[in-house]
Amino acid sequence: MKGLIFTYVLCYGGAVASLFDPFVGLMIYICFAIIKPEAMWFWAVPEGNYSRIVAVALLVGWVRKGFGQWQLGRARGIVIALVGFWLWAILSAFWAIDRSIAWEWIESISKIVLPFVVGITIIDSLPKLKVLAWVIMLSQAYVALEANLAYFDGYNRLREEGFGGMDNNSVAIALDTCIGLAFFLGLEMKNLWLKGLAFAGAAVMTHAVLLSFSRGGMLALIVTGVVSFFLLPKKWQHYLTFAIGVLIALRLAGPQVVERFTTIFHYKEDASAEGRIEYWGICWDLMQKHPLGIGPNQFGVVAPDYGLQAGRQAHSLWFQLGAELGFVGLGCLVLFYGICAVRLWPLAWRNDTAPDPWLHVAARMVLASLVGFAVSAQFVSLSLLEVPFYIALIGVVTLKLSAAPVDPAPDAMLQWTG
């Protein structure tokens, strides 16, 4: 019942509020994209167009507000790369073998790109940026919490079923993408309750990755930890906090998890690992034969030409996008994430290059999160996962705000974000 009330209140109440303040609709839309109410509370929430209702109201409110502010500053190139990726995908759909599934994919990716564009034009203050970070973190942490509760009730739902139409490997990607975000949020919060909440979110997400038994997810978790260590401000308190986090993660990893992860080093004896290498080779062959790509979501269509079952996926976001959207499409997406990371790097290391210290925190959390995503995405084909795009949105807004004066007197309702 709580899930049904939560969904209806946010959907219909949020739709009305979005007409006057599209930022409210954007936060609800992102929350729904992560929590997926129909999957989270499948026994109570009927199938419905909850996200679509909020999205329509969000776009109407955005238009009513004059399409937001387009002074993007250093974020302009990143937005151009994403829009270029989207437009190239639309163009490539015209030469796809199965155009019906190609256009279904275009519709789905548009539901990510358009809210991203809305976000970069309406998130114009530090308090709003903080709210965005907390909404993403808390939403993903709640998914992890439910996975943990199911496990302690005796059923590892995450490993056996996945979540929201995603298998265990795909869910691990989403979790890895938010762990760095949660850790750096907790590290810099002054309010002890909020600090504990952020660290608790990082803990439940870390344990959920381990519960998923996804080797790619575990590898990305380690990489995220290493990157986070190097991004830490040089203070003994931060190193102590990091060490405690590592010890907790090691304690959470039981013998089954360790045994599962160590099989990554015996890929020649692992049929699934051997299969992935074969699929990646097929993708490279397709990229050489079709430099412009074979069309969105078409790998499964041509799979039988290589002796594979129809509908088979390549188990790598990067290789499969390269095969489907060619060097241009893949290049645009790599530039989208790459430019974002490169331009955030100085902010993460230097504490005197932005008008507010919290922007340096945002740069660190985005870098740690995107590295976790980039590594884990190498092992799963999941081009329609929303979370990494919205993590990148934090980075893009950070870059935009880093070149502009920060309002010293933010809205009182947003002060709780620290």
The number of beta carbons lying within 10 Å of the beta carbon of residue 82 is: 25
Q: Find tokens 């530090």 and name the residue.
A: 126
- Distance, C-alpha 282 to centroid of its chain: 27
Asked if residue 176 lies in contact with residue 221, where contact means CB atoms within 8 angstroms, the answer is yes
In this structure, the dihedral spanned by the alpha carbons of residues 364, 28, 333 and 295, taken in order and rounded to 10 degrees, is: 160
Helix and strand tally (H, E) in the chain? 19, 0
**Lowest mean pLDDT, pick from 22-36, 228-242, 297-311:** 228-242
Q: In angstroms, rounded to a whole number, what is the distance separating the alpha carbons of residues 348 and 372?
A: 16
Q: What are phi and psi of 78, to 5 degrees?
A: -65, -45
Q: In angstroms, rounded to a whole number, what is the distance separating the alpha carbons of residues 207 and 230?
A: 22
Q: What is the pLDDT of residues 66-107, one digit of tens each?
A: 888 888 888 889 999 999 999 999 999 999 999 999 999 999
> What pLDDT is stored for residue 266 in this prediction?
47
* Three-state SS at 66: coil
Per the document, the length of the chain is 418
Mark 54-67 as b/e (b = at least 16 C-beta within 10 Å): bbebbbebbeebee
Asked if residue 369 lies in contact with residue 44, where contact means CB atoms within 8 angstroms, the answer is no
Q: Find tokens 């933010």 and name the residue.
A: 410
Asked if residue 23 lies in contact with residue 122, where contact means CB atoms within 8 angstroms, the answer is yes
**Lowest mean pLDDT, pick from 41-45, 46-50, 408-412, 414-418:** 408-412
Q: In angstroms, rounded to a whole number, what is the distance separating the alpha carbons of residues 353 and 334?
A: 26
Whole-model pTM?
0.88
Residue 42 pLDDT class (50, 70, 90 cuts):
confident
Tell me what the mean pLDDT of segment 156-184 comes to: 86
Which residues touch 353 (CB under 8 Å, ≥6 apart)? 346, 347, 360, 402
> What pLDDT is stored for residue 416 in this prediction?
46
Query: Tokens at residue 94, please?
Result: 């015209």
Closest CA relative to residue 182, chosen from 133, 239, 248:
133
Q: Tell me: pLDDT of 247 over 80.
A: no
The residue ranges of DSSP E strands in 120-235, in sequence order, are none
The number of beta carbons lying within 10 Å of the beta carbon of residue 90 is: 15
**Lowest mean pLDDT, pick from 43-57, 132-146, 252-266:** 252-266
Asked if residue 350 lies in contact with residue 286, where contact means CB atoms within 8 angstroms, the answer is no
Query: Tokens at residue 375, please?
Result: 């590594």
The residue ranges of DSSP E strands in 221-326, in sequence order, are none
Q: In angstroms, rounded to a whole number, what is the distance separating the alpha carbons of residues 83 and 89?
A: 10
Asked if residue 184 lies in contact with residue 361, where contact means CB atoms within 8 angstroms, the answer is yes
Which residues touch 135 (CB under 8 Å, ≥6 apart)? 27, 30, 31
> What pLDDT is stored for residue 308 in this prediction?
86
Asked if residue 119 lies in contact with residue 132, where contact means CB atoms within 8 angstroms, the answer is yes
Q: Find tokens 């256009």 and name the residue.
A: 103
Which residues touch 294 (CB under 8 Å, ≥6 apart)? 95, 96, 97, 286, 301, 302, 323, 324
**Lowest mean pLDDT, pick from 138-152, 287-301, 302-316, 384-398:** 302-316
Q: What is the pLDDT of residues 361-406, one digit of tens each?
A: 899 999 988 988 888 788 887 888 899 999 999 999 999 988 765 5
Q: Using alpha carbons only, what angle is made at residue 75 by residues 74 and 79, rounded to the nearest 5 degrees?
A: 145
**Which amino acid is present at 220?**
A
Q: In angstroms, rounded to a whole number, what is the distance separating the alpha carbons of residues 415 and 358?
A: 13
